[in-house]
């Protein structure tokens, strides 16, 4: 699914990474503990989270995640936007809850990021 379609599905606001909106997203991971997210390693996937700090963008950078969606209307800070722009990561915000966001994306055919990380 194109990131554009995904953002429409979640009725999300795009804060940065407009240039990524034609990227195709096939996999999603979700969680508030970045140290749990770091075991997922599927490039060009989407991260859904309720955590808002610099380490979310750092985690996305290390994992080659294409876009991060913050749930329940949480907005990224200026520092986060600056870093995300530098690293080419799209940041979006949806007013929907984590459960509903995951459900909508699952229903639309997006897959769970496969684990474990190493072969």
Partner 1 sequence: MESRKQMSQDITLEYPIKGMDFVSAGEASSNIKHTLQLIGFSPAIIRRAAIAAYEAEMNIVIHGSGGVLKTVITPEKIELTAEDSGPGIPDIDLAMQEGYSTAPDHIREMGFGAGMGLPNIRNCSDEFVIDSQVGKGTIVKAVIYRT
C-beta closer to partner 1: residue 38 or 108: 38
C-beta closer to partner 1: residue 7 or 29: 29
Enumerate the β-bridge partners of residue 46. Answer: 28, 67
What does the binding site for partner 1 look like in residue numbers (CB under 8 A)?
Answer: 32-36, 38-39, 41, 43, 51, 53-56, 58-59, 61-64, 79, 116-118
Coil vs helix vs strand at 23:
coil
Enumerate the β-bridge partners of residue 24. Answer: 2
Enumerate the β-bridge partners of residue 2. Answer: 24
C-beta closer to partner 1: residue 35 or 109: 35
């Amino acid at each position: 699914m194109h990131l554009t379609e995904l953002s429409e599905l979640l009725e999300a606001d795009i804060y940065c990474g407009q240039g990524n909106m034609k990227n195709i997203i096939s996999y999603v991971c979700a969680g508030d503990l970045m140290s749990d997210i770091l075991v997922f390693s599927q490039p060009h996937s989407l991260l859904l989270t309720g955590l808002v700090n610099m380490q979310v963008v750092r985690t996305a950078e290390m994992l080659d995640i294409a876009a991060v969606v913050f749930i329940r209307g949480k907005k990224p800070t200026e520092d986060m936007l600056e870093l995300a722009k530098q690293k080419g990561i799209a940041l979006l915000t949806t007013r929907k809850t984590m459960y509903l966001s995951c459900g909508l994306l699952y229903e639309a055919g997006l897959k769970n990021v496969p684990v474990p990380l190493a072969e």
